[in-house]
C-alpha cells in the first residue's frame, strides 16, 4: 500500500505516475488512512493533467456538509426574521393576500359548514378577520411567554 503525501507542496512535486500508483490517502479531518476511492475528486484539473482527489474522505465531507447545512438554516432563519422586522407592512400585506387566497386555511371546513347550517349563509369576511386577529393575539402571547 502506497500512501499519498499529505502536504500540498509535496503533492505538487510528485509525478503523475507516482500519484496514480498511490492507493491510499490520509484524511485531513479524521486522520484515517483510507483507499483513494473513499475520496472524491476536485472539480478542476491541475495544469499537469492530474485530477486531484479531495483532502477529506467522503464520510467526513458528508458530515462537514451536514454541519454547514445546520449553520446555514440558522442563518436563513435569522435573515428571514430580520426581513419581516424591516418589512412588517409588506409582510402583513402578503399575509392579507394569503388569507384572501386561502380562506379555508384560516377557518377549517367543519367550522364553515357549521356556520352555514346555523345561519344559512357563508362565513362573512369580518368573522374571518376576527379569527385572524384571535390567532394573531394567541401567537403574540406565545411569543411573550418564551
Ligand atoms: Zn475522514
Domain ranges of the chain: 3-58, 72-100, 103-145
Backbone angles phi, psi at 127, to 5 degrees: -65, -45
Residues 16-37 have pLDDT tens digits of 888 888 899 999 889 999 998 8
- For 2-146, strand residue ranges (E) read 24-26, 33-35, 39-41, 53-57
Q: What DSSP character marks residue 124? A: P
Residues 43-85 have pLDDT tens digits of 666 666 666 778 889 999 888 888 888 888 888 888 888 888 8
Taking the C-alpha atoms of residue 74 and residue 77, their distance in angstroms, rounded to an integer, is 5
| Residue 80, all three cell numbers | 428571514
Lowest mean pLDDT among 67-71, 90-94, 121-125, 138-142: 90-94
CA of 47 from ligand 1 middle (Å) equals 27
CA of 29 from ligand 1 middle (Å) equals 5
129 vs 62, more confident: 62
Task: Decide if 29 contacts 56 (C-beta within 8 A).
Answer: yes
Look up the pTM and report it: 0.45
CA of 58 from ligand 1 middle (Å) equals 7
CA of 19 from ligand 1 middle (Å) equals 20
Amino acid at each position: 500500500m502506497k500512501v499519498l503525501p499529505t502536504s500540498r507542496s509535496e503533492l505538487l512535486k510528485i509525478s503523475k505516475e507516482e500519484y496514480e500508483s498511490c492507493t491510499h490517502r490520509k484524511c485531513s479531518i479524521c486522520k484515517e488512512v483510507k483507499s483513494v476511492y473513499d475520496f472524491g475528486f476536485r472539480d478542476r484539473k491541475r495544469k499537469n493533467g492530474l485530477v486531484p482527489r479531495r483532502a477529506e474522505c467522503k464520510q467526513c465531507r458528508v458530515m462537514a456538509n451536514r454541519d454547514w447545512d445546520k449553520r446555514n438554516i440558522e442563518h436563513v432563519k435569522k435573515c428571514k426574521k430580520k426581513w419581516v422586522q424591516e418589512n412588517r407592512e409588506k409582510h402583513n400585506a402578503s399575509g392579507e393576500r394569503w388569507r384572501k387566497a386561502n380562506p379555508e386555511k384560516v377557518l377549517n371546513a367543519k367550522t364553515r359548514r357549521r356556520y352555514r347550517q346555523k345561519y344559512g349563509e357563508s362565513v362573512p369576511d369580518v368573522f374571518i378577520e376576527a379569527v385572524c386577529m384571535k390567532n394573531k393575539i394567541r401567537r403574540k402571547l406565545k411569543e411573550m411567554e418564551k
